[in-house]
Chain A
Amino acid sequence: MRSNVLRHHLLTALLLGPATAWLVVFLVLPFVAIAVFSVGERAPEGGYQAAFTLAQYANLPARATAFWNTMVLAPAGALACLLVAYPVAYFLALRAPERWRLILLALVVIPFWTSLLMRTYAWMYVLGGRGIPALLATIGFDDVRLINTPGAVLLGIVYGYLPLMILPIYVSLERLDRRLLEASADLGATPLSTFLGVTLRLSLPGVMTGFSLVMILLLGEYLIPTLLGGGKVFFIGNALVDLFLQSRNWPFGSAIAITLVLVSVVVLIAANRISTRLSGARRVDLI
């Protein structure tokens, strides 16, 4: 009996061991280090110097623009993604012929297999001076600026993160019991009421998963604002790179990173709460 229990515990430890070790070394320890850095001071020659001060946090408003850009463009980007993704997911799950479904789904995912960097560079050229603005100039619209604007960043975000939004929504719509839609129609609901009262409500867990997934990734986004936003649209991610690598102000960078993590956690919890309440689901698989 006892040895059985012992073996059971040993097996559990063996199974969980590698993942735990990985997380401790590469997530928990760095996180502790960052937390410690964030209450420290910048050494005169750059880097970190032990201290206990909340001065770094008090200094957060100095990067208000980066925070503001992130806090506006991350939810806006996630929302834009959602508005584009929902009809696509709806079509794939409920309207597309069965035999085409997998092929169409693959078409959504395949671009994801090439590097985001390459695809974003492509957008740089498309939106840049010799791209769409040049075309517009030939029909008389001169001096249209697309690249290095918030709009370009938003476009890049929607383009880059669309599959991450489509897939969870697709899954929740695919799982939807079609007879519920028939029951709704049978009870006198017009197609619009059925969509709002049943389809949308029951796909909310997928919507919330997609939304929080995209939102959290956007909070740390670095590449798209750099390439499509130029120096003008600065995200927290860019601020972090700048602080750690250029001005070597590690404590301040750490304070920003910690704040970012806290914001992400709040977003996750809120999304989870909302979708659980609205869909009446007992369990929400988040990500």
Chain B
Amino acid sequence: MIAVPDIEFRGVTKRYGSVTAVSGIDLAVPPSAFVALLGPSGCGKTTCLRMIGGFEQPSEGAVFIRGRDMAGTPPYRRPVNMVFQQYALFPHLDVEDNIAYGLRQARPRLSSREISLRAGEALAMVRLAGYGRRKIHELSGGQQQRVALARALVNKPAVLLLDEPLAALDKKLRTDMQIELQNLQREIGITFVLVTHDQEEALSMSDFVCVMNGGRIVQLGQPSEIYDEPADLFVADFVGKTNLLSGKVAGHSGNLVEVALADGTVIAARERTSLQKGEAVSVSLRPESLSLGAPGSGRLNGIVRNRIFLGSTAEYAIEVQGIGTLLAKADHMIGHGNLFKPGEPVAIGFTAGTPLAFPGPKNNGTNQRENKHVETIS
């Protein structure tokens, strides 16, 4: 990366009293990137965003924006703008005055002609032309969201910060806005930093995903990397759906590790860190990497407990004796009659090397994830 990063964290730690919210973060965001900070609530992602915006000061380390150390620079002197959670639009101003708010603060002053021209452009950009004189409370949630976007972008910031911008929208609108945000980012070409706890949102929108947990960055990479090559058990579990099976390392064969599962089945998995023989491990198997077949044809045998028909695919909850319930996602062709029915015995197969083995048994987070499976299944 030769270009000066738009945003750079160098050894940033943030403490509130005795609580450490963010701990030793190093991160460089290249220009014109769409980056998502992804993690569960309390992982420090919002604190990071607020440190870029200038609303929090790092306890240690420094935040750079386009190569400039931002220590001591108040929010109103930073070349970034934020789309706030629940938008924080000014209730006493109409749509146009909300959008023009930042332009009116510019020194030297902009002419009122330029202000209304640029506000009008920004309104058109978010497809709200003609809404300038509306009151904020007269707008729908989606429209308010777009006003918040226009209000931030009209100032031509170096970086746009988005704090859970889609959390308050319904699913349909959220999907539309995801596409709209992506298009906007490509059109304008500035860096977007998005904070979200929704892994689907992070994967679908961004060029880079920065997965955070417990105040640290656990993995930084492209969405496909994060999904296919999770750095650890937490990422494997948090991003996307996965089955986690506990077992013990039985030995190595080539560059794969052999894991003996609870029921005695031995499967070949890739390892992230080198694992010792006898070590307790968790094996991650993505639902879509499992293939289903007639009993006896696969590696594990189970009974279909539940089926969710999703159109092009179907999800199955399959109970495997001694291991637990596995989630499998299978393509099917309607009319070929290859949908399995609840109660039917089924064999589960997978290609050697697709499972990923991580040190350590399932943690609490894993259990939550399992409960979630049950929720989606029942």
Contact = CB atoms under 8 A, between A and B. Distances in A.
B88 interface: yes
A280 B92 contact: yes
A179 B77 CA distance: 18
Interface in A187-214: 187-190, 193, 197-198, 201-202
Given A187-B105, A188-B102, A188-B105, A182 B155 contact: no
A185 interface: yes
Contact of A186 (B53, B86, B137): B53
A190 B92 contact: no
A238 interface: no
B84 interface: yes
B151 interface: yes
Given A187-B151, A202-B92, A280-B91, A182 B105 contact: no
B45 to A, nearest CB: 17
Nearest to A204: B92
B169 interface: no
A190 B88 contact: no
Q: Is the interface of A mostly helix, strand, loop or mixed?
A: helix
B93 A188 contact: no
B88 A183 contact: yes
Given A186-B75, A188-B102, A282 B88 contact: no
Given A188-B106, A188-B155, A182 B74 contact: no
A281 B106 CA distance: 27
A183 B89 CA distance: 8
Contacts of B85: 179
A24 interface: no
Interface in A29-70: none
Contacts of B80: 186
Nearest to A187: B102
Contacts, number: 68
Given A187-B101, A188-B102, A282-B137, A179 B86 contact: yes
Contact of B101 (A177, A182, A184, A190): A184
B81 A186 contact: yes
Highest count of chain B CB atoms <10 Å: which of A179, A189, A193, A202: A179
Interface residues of B, number: 28
A189 B92 contact: no
A193 to B, nearest CB: 6
Interface in B335-373: none
Contacts of A187: 76, 81, 101-102, 105, 151-152, 155
B135 A182 contact: no
A180 B88 contact: yes
Contacts of B77: 188
A281 B76 CA distance: 26
Contact of B75 (A185, A197, A281): A185
B309 interface: no
Interface string B63-104: 000000000001111001110111011111100000001100
A183 B76 contact: no
Given A179-B84, A193-B105, A280-B135, A186 B91 contact: no
Contacts of B105: 187-190, 193
Contacts of B151: 187
A267 B278 CA distance: 85
Nearest to A181: B88
Given A187-B105, A188-B76, A188-B105, A279 B81 contact: no
Contacts of A177: 88
Interface in A149-199: 177, 179-180, 182-190, 193, 197-198
Interface in B94-128: 101-102, 105-106
24 contacts: A179-B85, A179-B86, A179-B88, A180-B88, A182-B82, A182-B88, A183-B88, A183-B89, A184-B101, A185-B55, A185-B74, A185-B75, A186-B75, A186-B84, A186-B152, A187-B76, A188-B102, A188-B155, A189-B105, A190-B105, A197-B101, A201-B92, A202-B92, A280-B93
Given A179-B85, A281-B92, 13 more contacts: A179-B88, A182-B53, A182-B82, A182-B84, A183-B84, A185-B54, A185-B74, A185-B75, A185-B76, A187-B151, A188-B155, A190-B105, A193-B105
Interface of B: 53-55, 74-77, 80-82, 84-86, 88-93, 101-102, 105-106, 135, 137, 151-152, 155
- Of all A-B residue pairs in the complex, the 7 with the closest CB atoms, nearest first, are A280-B92, A187-B102, A188-B105, A179-B88, A185-B75, A183-B88, A189-B105
